[in-house]
């Protein structure tokens, strides 16, 4: 069903101020580049001024202190935080939730010993193995696999193609996107004169409440004990978490980042895109590894790791600035040597 709001109504919802036509009608959200007259977009700073001028958006959210008049035909809404305000509008204009009918699809396989609570959806060709338990109102989508003795909590969504291996524990309100693999064996081998011998991976994966895991991400089972993703963690697509890793509450792991075995991430740690964390180290609460950087040793709380090998922000900036300082110093030396040569020339002339 189409949703329709006036600019004045949106401004009231986000506590903003309209500059332009308060009766401008909005039916959807979009980016500045792609938006049409009936759509609302946003920007956070003047560096997007050109994009705003070229946009066909009928309404644009701008910062509260925005000093520019809107282009002809466009209405602006001044607000405290356009990004957050736009997220709120995205929720308002979101389509109706998809329908997942309660019950087991005829093509799905549910083992007789598996336990399904009320309100569970099991989609086409999904597989739920022996002893598995699925909580209330959970959705197991098409072609998902739930292994033996695995427990999945309430109001959790397991999207198509997800594979959750045996004895894993998944909490409530968890979202696992397509083709993620939870509980594959950790990568462990012993070198012998006969070759590499596999080390048994006897632990599990535990994923706590309110975690979201992106498409094609992999979280390995522990060698012993558990690999543990704590409450509120958000994991992007194509992220790798190795065996016996602990990821602290509300941490964020962004695309193609990776954490090696037995590393421990504290609360609120951020790994940016393609960042790496070495095995058997500890990342303090609130620490951050920047994109393409590698944390190779333990870091204290709040530290930011730059570069490869990783180092603190202070060390990185000092090393980065060193060539500039050396060049400036060499320029000063050249000037002093020239001045010295000039003075020596004068002294030699006087001696004659």
Residues designated catalytic: 243
Q: Hey, what long-range contacts does 145-153 have (CB within 8 A, 24 or more apart)?
A: 146/114, 147/183, 150/183, 153/209
Alpha helical stretches, state H, the chain: 7-14, 49-54, 82-92, 313-351
CA distance 247 to 239: 13
Query: Strand 133-134 to strand 121-122: parallel, antiparallel, or no bridges (unpaired)?
Result: unpaired
Cβ-based neighbours of 289, under 8 Å, separated by 6 or more: 257, 269, 270, 271, 272, 275, 276, 277, 283, 295, 304, 305, 310
Looking at the DSSP bridge assignments, the partners of residue 115 are 133
Q: Cα 350 to the chain's mean position, in Å?
A: 74
């Amino acid at each position: 069903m189409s949703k329709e709001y006036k600019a004045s109504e949106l401004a009231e919802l986000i506590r903003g101020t309209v500059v332009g036509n308060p009766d401008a009608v909005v039916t959807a959200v979009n980016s500045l580049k792609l938006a049409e007259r009936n759509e609302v977009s946003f920007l956070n700073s003047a560096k997007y001024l050109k994009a705003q001028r070229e946009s066909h958006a009928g309404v644009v959210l701008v910062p509260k202190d925005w000093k520019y008049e809107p282009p002809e035909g466009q209405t602006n809404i001044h607000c405290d935080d356009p990004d957050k305000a736009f997220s709120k509008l995205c929720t308002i204009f979101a389509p109706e939730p998809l329908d997942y009918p309660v019950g087991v699809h005829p093509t799905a396989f549910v083992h007789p010993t598996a336990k399904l609570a009320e309100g569970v959806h099991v989609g086409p060709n999904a597989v739920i193995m022996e002893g598995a338990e699925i909580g209330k109102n959970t959705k197991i989508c098409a072609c998902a696999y739930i292994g033996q003795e695995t427990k999945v909590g309430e109001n959790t969504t397991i999207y198509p193609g997800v594979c959750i291996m045996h004895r894993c524990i998944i909490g409530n309100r968890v979202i696992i996107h397509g083709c993620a693999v939870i509980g594959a064996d950790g990568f462990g081998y012993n070198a012998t004169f006969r070759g590499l011998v596999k080390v048994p991976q006897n632990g599990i994966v535990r994923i706590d409440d309110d975690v979201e895991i992106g498409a094609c991400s992999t979280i390995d089972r522990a060698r012993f004990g558990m690999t543990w993703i704590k409450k509120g963690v958000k994991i992007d697509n194509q992220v790798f978490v190795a065996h016996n890793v602990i990821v602290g509450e509300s941490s964020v792991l962004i695309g193609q980042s990776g954490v090696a075995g037995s590393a421990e991430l504290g609360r609120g740690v951020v790994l940016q895109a393609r960042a790496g964390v070495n095995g058997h180290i500890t990342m303090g609460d609130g620490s951050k590894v920047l994109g393409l950087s590698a944390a190779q040793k333990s870091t204290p709380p709040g530290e930011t790791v730059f570069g490869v090998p990783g180092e603190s922000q202070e060390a990185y900036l000092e090393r980065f600035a060193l060539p500039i300082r050396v060049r400036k110093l060499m320029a000063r030396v050249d000037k002093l040597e020239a001045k010295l040569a000039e003075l020596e020339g004068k002294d030699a002339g006087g001696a004659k």
